[in-house]
Structures are given as structure tokens and as C-alpha cells.
Structure 1
Amino acid sequence: MQRYLLTFSYIGTAFRGLQRQVTGALPRQDDPSTVQGCLEMAIQRMQAKNMPYIVSSSRTDAGVHALSNTCHVDLESPDNEPYEPRYVTSSINKFLCKSNIPIKITSAFAVPETFHCRHNAVKRTYLYKLIVINPDVLTTHPLLQHVPIELNERAWFPTFTEFDEESMMEAAKLFLGYHDFKTFSAKDTSYFKYHGKQRLTRRTITKLSIEKSPMNLYSSYSMPTYYGFNRKVSYKSYDIYIESAGFLHNQEGPLKD
């Protein structure tokens, strides 16, 4: 049996989250609605002797994407010789690509059996993309807003009639440190039971930074110079990075109007 560390990315729009939802006795049923389920389906095609079970370093909620996440899995090959990491990467990606599943394995490493992806993780970082349209040319109806197709479900285009950048920067400082985030998570988070004990809803935010991001990454077709009656549009784009050792259920969910 060899343990492998996998790094992977995915577009989470169509998934119910990372963690498997279909449970039960072995052999487990396929679960194509989650990231874990799809990865385990892909690894099964490698014909390992054991049933693969993914352990992720960080679980994400429905609709959340990952630029870089990690997991580990134990595999025993049919000939008792460890799989080459390159073969693990290519085999999983081949199934995901042919099945049109928006997950990509970026690397695989053979690691000791004492390595644990979740226990050895020291921090998680989430990125929120905020793109604000100049209020002078803003239409308040979301269906009339121009949303670049490559940023659909990947950025938040708020319909603010006014936007105070300085106040946003100041308010962000309030999140730093050790706080109770139960109002930022699932409604029943403060009552979750974990091994018979009440689960804490306090977390420490070690870093929160807001950086202005350039808008020249996309073509003029993505971010048009003019909108409507030849009115010039001005966009302000912000990347919001939030870092912590861990987050609550639904705390990192996608931004909504």
C-alpha cells in the first residue's frame, strides 16, 4: 500500500461541494455530484486492489472553486509495485477529461503513510473577486449588467449605487483575529454535534488583504469600453484574500447579492 499526495483544481459550479454525499457500506456507490466522488470514480479506473478513499486538506461548499487543493489516497497496485506518480496523474486526468468533469490533477507525490493531508495542513486561503462598476453608468437591474463570460460564477458584480472603497478597507480589519463566525456560516452551525460535544464556531483569521487587480487581463470583448448609449464604463476590480487555519461550514460559500 502506497500513500499519494494529490494537488488538484476544479470549477465547483455544478458540484454539491467537495465532500462525498453518498455514503453507506462498502462498496460505496458512485457519487458524481461531488468533487470527492468524481476523484474516487476516476481512481477506481486504475484497478487498485483496494477501494480508494480520498482525504482532503480542505472541504469546500457547493459552488466554490479551487485554484489549488490537496488530498491523499492509499493505493495498492495489482502487481504490488507502487504506481508511478506520473501514471497516477495521467490516469486520473484521462478519465476526468473524457467524462468532461471540471477537475484537474496538477501533480502527484508518493508520501509516507504517516502523512495526513488534513492534519498536516497549517492554513487555508480563500480568494474572493469583487468587480465594481462605476455608479455613474450603473444599471440597477442585474439582468442588464455586463458580466464577462469567463468571470461568470467566478466573481461578484455588485449593483451598488454608491461604493466607498476606504470604508471597505477599514471594515476588513475587523475580521482579523479570533472571533465567533456563527452568523457567517450555516444557520445550525452553533448547534452542530461533533463526537457528542458542541462544535465551536470561533475561528482565527490570520490574514485579510484587499488588493486592486488589473482589468487588462481580459480582452475588450470581455470588458467593453462602452456600454449602452455610448457611455464609458469604469470598472474597479478587487481581490480579497482571507487566510485561516480553518473555516466553518458555509463560511467560505460564494458571494451573493
Structure 2
Amino acid sequence: MHRYLLNISYIGTAFRGIQKTVNKLQQPHLDTNTVQGSLELALRVFHPTNEIITVLSSRTDAGVHALHSTVHVDLQRPNGEPYDTTTLTGVLNRTLGKQRLPIRVLSSQLVADTFHCRYHATGRTYLYRFAVAKEPPSGNDNLRNKGFETFMPVEEIDRCYFLQAPRFDIDRVKAAAQMFIGVHDFRTFMSVSRQKGPSRDHPMFTVRKIDEVNIQPGKTLALAANATLAAETYDYWDVKIKAKSFVYKQVRRIVGALIAFGSGRIDDRCLYQMLTIPSKNSWDHRVLLAPACGLYLCRVHYRGEDN
């Protein structure tokens, strides 16, 4: 038996999420509406003698993408020899491509039997992309007020969060983002999860340390004439947040709070209270949860890496 680390990327809008659903009342089956289930289906082409069970380093929700995530899996080859990792990567990508699944294996590597892709990860970096219209929509009819007449590049559908925010102040957002760095109880910034467990009731469960929050100008993914028009219409921004781990929907709530602050919907006091008075009751409902389509798992970090 040999253990392999798969470095993967995927477009999340095609799946219900990364984690497969296990229904103990039904016969075991592959959940191909998830990234994990699709990977396990692709791994069957190697015909290992053991049951294929993948282990995830990170769990992303429906609509969230990954530029780099990791999975480990044990495979027993009939002749006892390890699979060639280059062949493993190529065959998996060819199989996923034939199934028209938006998952790509970036690389595969043989790792120690004691390696665990989740517990040995030293950190995770998330990227959130949003674009703010440079000019507010004109006119008084409902469609214009909702921004439906504003150009949106087709290449960016479900890849970025587009918003209308007159007088959006990115400098205020950058300054406020520094409040989140360090150790905090992020209970206010955790959405209610369907997952149950005794650890979730522990008073320290929502305590996390944010290592970095960086906000930089972004770029459109549009092509040709669409790229020019998109750059003229929107200011793109990239928010990168790095920590060892996050509570449920923490990044999307932080970004939503920062956007509300930059738009003037909430003030400094509101942001400070949400962060320093950890409670689900401290969440200000003027803050909108940032949509999943703008969120990317950018990298899973391990000790010994150069970056």
C-alpha cells in the first residue's frame, strides 16, 4: 500500500461542494456531484486492490473554487509496486476530461504512510475577487436601480462578485482589514453549520489566528474587447487571507463586512463590536454574506515549501 498526495484545482460552480455525502442507510455509491466523489470515480481506472477512500485537506462549499487544494489517497497496486506519479496525474486528468468535469490534478507525489494532508497543513490562503462599478447606474427605473443594465463580461460569470457601491472607499477597507489580523474569537463570523460534533460547543472552537490580510488591485478574466470594457467599467480587487484554519464561512463573512464598511452601510463601531463581542447576535444584518462565486482556495501550505 502506498500513499499519494494529489494537488488539485477545480471550478466549484459545477459541484455541490468538495466533500462527498455518505448515506449509511443506502448502498455505498459515488457522489459525482462533489469533487471528492468525482476524484474517487476517476481513480477507479487504476483498478487498485483496496477500497478507494480519499482524504481532504480542506472543505469548500458549493460554488467555491480552488486554485490549489490537496487530497491524499492510499492505493494498493496488484503487483505491489507504486504507481508512477506522472502517469497518475496524466491518466486522472484524461479521465476527468472525458467526463467533462472541471477538475485538474496539478501534480501527484508519493508521500509517507504517516502523512496526512489535513493535519500536516501549516496554513491555507484564500482569495476573494470582487469588482465595484466605477459609475453608479443612471435612471430611476427598477432595472437600472438593481444594476441589471451594467455590462458584465461573460467570462466572469460565477468567477467574481460584481457590485454597485457609490462612493466605495477602498482605503477605508484596507485600514479596517488590519483589525482582523491576529488571534480573535470569530464566533460572530461563523455561519451555522449542519455538521454536528462536541468540539463545536467548546468555547475555544471559534478562536482563530489570521496571519495575513492583503488587499490589492485585481484584473479581469475577460478577453479581447470584453477585457477593455470590463477595465473601463469596474475596479477589481483581490482580498487574500491566510490562516492555519477557518471557521465555517469565515472568509465570506469577513469580506462581506469589509465591503459593507467600504460602502458606508456600517461604521467603525459596528465592525469593532462584531469582532470584539463574539456572538451570533452581534452580526449586523446590514452586512451581506459575500457570494461563494468570488471565493478561491488559493493554496494549502505545508512545512518545507518555498512559498
Alignment match, 2:197: 193
Alignment match, 2:123: 123
Hey, what's the Cα distance between the residues in 1 that align with 2:175 and 2:191? Answer: 26
The C-alpha deviation readout for 1:47-103, integer Å capped at 9, x for no partner, is 111111111221111110000111110000122221111121122112210111110
After TM superposition, the structure 1 = structure 2 runs for residues 17-96 of structure 1, keeping only pairs within 5 Å, are 17-24=17-24, 28-96=28-96
Identify unmatched segments of 5+ residues in structure 2: 139-143, 253-288, 293-307
Does the 8 Å contact 1:42/1:96 carry over to 2? yes
Hey, what's the Cα distance between the residues in 2 that align with 1:11 and 1:26? Answer: 29
Does the 8 Å contact 2:151/2:233 carry over to 1? no
Closer/same/farther in 2, CA of residues 70 and 97 from structure 1, 3 Å limit: same
Does the 8 Å contact 2:177/2:213 carry over to 1? yes
- Report the AA paired with residue 109 of structure 2: F
Alignment match, 1:255: 290
Hey, what's the Cα distance between the residues in 2 that align with 1:26 and 1:219? Answer: 50
Closer/same/farther in 2, CA of residues 185 and 218 from structure 1, 3 Å limit: farther
SS in 2 for 1:255: coil
Does the 8 Å contact 1:49/1:77 carry over to 2? yes
Does the 8 Å contact 2:132/2:235 carry over to 1? yes
Alignment match, 2:107: 107
Alignment match, 1:229: none
Normalised by the length of structure 1, the TM-score is 0.87
Closer/same/farther in 2, CA of residues 192 and 30 from structure 1, 3 Å limit: closer
Match of 2:159 among 147, 154, 161: 154
Closer/same/farther in 2, CA of residues 142 and 21 from structure 1, 3 Å limit: farther
Hey, what's the Cα distance between the residues in 1 that align with 2:220 and 2:193? Answer: 39
Does the 8 Å contact 1:201/1:248 carry over to 2? yes
Closer/same/farther in 2, CA of residues 10 and 225 from structure 1, 3 Å limit: closer
Does the 8 Å contact 1:148/1:223 carry over to 2? no
Alignment match, 2:217: 212
Hey, what's the Cα distance between the residues in 1 that align with 2:6 and 2:20? Answer: 17
In the TM superposition, residue 196 of structure 1 has moved relative to its aligned partner by: 8.6
Alignment match, 1:182: 187
Quick check: which one's helix share is greater? Answer: 2
Closer/same/farther in 2, CA of residues 215 and 86 from structure 1, 3 Å limit: closer
Instruction: Say whether 1:169 aligns with 2:174.
Output: yes
SS in 1 for 2:120: coil
Does the 8 Å contact 1:61/1:249 carry over to 2? no
- Report the AA paired with residue 186 of structure 1: S
Identify unmatched segments of 5+ residues in structure 1: 227-232
The C-alpha deviation readout for 1:17-73, integer Å capped at 9, x for no partner, is 111113438973110111111111111221111111111221111110000111110
In the TM superposition, residue 215 of structure 1 has moved relative to its aligned partner by: 4.9
Alignment match, 1:221: 226
SS in 2 for 1:131: strand
In the TM superposition, residue 186 of structure 1 has moved relative to its aligned partner by: 2.0
Does the 8 Å contact 2:155/2:221 carry over to 1? no
- The higher relative CO (CA closer than 8 Å, separation ≥ 6) is in 2
Closer/same/farther in 2, CA of residues 4 and 144 from structure 1, 3 Å limit: same
Alignment match, 1:244: 243
SS in 1 for 2:12: coil
The C-alpha deviation readout for 1:193-245, integer Å capped at 9, x for no partner, is 2369537112111100001124597432244279xxxxxx4421111100010
Q: CA RMSD in A?
A: 2.6
Alignment match, 2:208: 203
- Report the AA paired with residue 164 of structure 2: T
Determine what percentage of the aligned residue pairs are the same residue: 36
Hey, what's the Cα distance between the residues in 2 that align with 1:196 and 1:100? Answer: 37
Hey, what's the Cα distance between the residues in 2 that align with 1:59 and 1:196? Answer: 16
Compare 194-203 and 55-64 and name the one that shifted more.
Answer: 194-203
Closer/same/farther in 2, CA of residues 50 and 171 from structure 1, 3 Å limit: same
